[in-house]
Amino acid sequence: MELKRVVVTGIGAITPLGNTIPEFWNSIIKGKSGASLITKFDTTFFKTKFACEVKDFDPNLYIDKKESRRMDPYTHYAMAAASQAIENSKLDLDTIDKNEVGVIFSSGIGGILTFEQEIGFYYQHQQMGPKFNPFFIPKMISDIAAGQISILYGFRGPNYSIASACASSTNAMIDAFNYIRLGKAKVILTGGAEASITPGGVGGFNAMNAISTRNDSPETASRPFSASRDGFVIGEGAGCLVFEELEHALARGAHILCEVVGGGMSADAHHLTATHPEGLGATLVMERALKDAGMKPEDIDYVNVHGTATPVGDPSEAKAIIKVFGEHAYKLNISSTKSMTGHLLGAAGAVEGIAAILAVANDIVPPTINHEEGDDDPDIDYRLNFTFNKAQKRIVNAALSNTFGFGGHNASIIVKKYKA
């Protein structure tokens, strides 16, 4: 069976650095931080008082007010990103065969704010008996963003969500890629959304000592590959991508942003939350993505790393890159856009995939910000070009994006310039 070629024809994003693609891209190219003090709840008794919040977002620009009240914020972000991606793709919703359009859209956690509000009310008012909102469950579950997008637009192709923690949206993109190249759909909206800047989200990650506590300097707290890193900065938002069969895209005269050429998946089989210290799963997943793409390590120009700024994760990913790419590792550009966006959890893969696509489209590599001279970790090889503090112009023919999730889930996807 001959596999179909898959291209990206539309993108949309809601991020801590802007609520449109141009705002997001301009901000990361300039090396801006999206971190600031938390405004969504009272942090008085919390160890961490800052995050990368989405700012100035109005869901009613994208969703009917009545329907909006029936959705968790993570679904608001998803619907907005999907609307942008569809508009960007110039899909004609009146003529397209909606039976051939799917939605594979993920979230790592789902509607955690809804869960906290509903369960909190119950335990504070137990004498009243169970008084739950009838939309409690549909607002909370992590598949509902995919369902809501499908319902709004009438897309009747494959429709589901994947939960693999921080790898969720990269797994969604890989599934979308595979279904289209196998001929199971012509178009799939894919990506992920997360809205976990809540008392439970921040408090839970604090309890694990997973997130930074650098409250005196939120903007510089996310510092991947620096010795002084002290955990990730929690973020929120959504990224949506329109994956399309090449022939279908060409037939309607679509603008093609890039081609999707490979995806890899692996497991660390090591620890609940920590990556393997020698990067075994990370090595496997990049090797598998390259094999799936039919590419050599030398074909990759840019790696958008998972790069969360955790003590174990950063060195292990750097080691894996050296194992996979050999001497070519030192010719790559490597960057962690989480230094600017924070960690969007289940939406990270989608938003970072978009960053990789824009790097390929514009021949610019976004930076890893917040590294100071001399702040070097002896376990990290600084002959690698981490694109510290300033974006770099170079030809980017192909880019690989990594995402690794709690549970040892690893996923990598490769995109390259489209050539007929």
> Which residues are known to be catalytic?
166, 306, 343
What are the φ and ψ backbone dihedral angles of 172, each rounded to 5 degrees?
A: -60, -45
Tokens of 317: 């990913």
Q: Is 395 exposed, middle or buried (0-12, 13-18, 19+ CB in 10 A)?
A: exposed
What are the φ and ψ backbone dihedral angles of 193, each rounded to 5 degrees?
A: -145, 150
Q: Is 228 exposed, middle or buried (0-12, 13-18, 19+ CB in 10 A)?
A: middle
Q: Among positive and negative, which fits the CA dihedral 82, 88, 89, 90?
A: positive
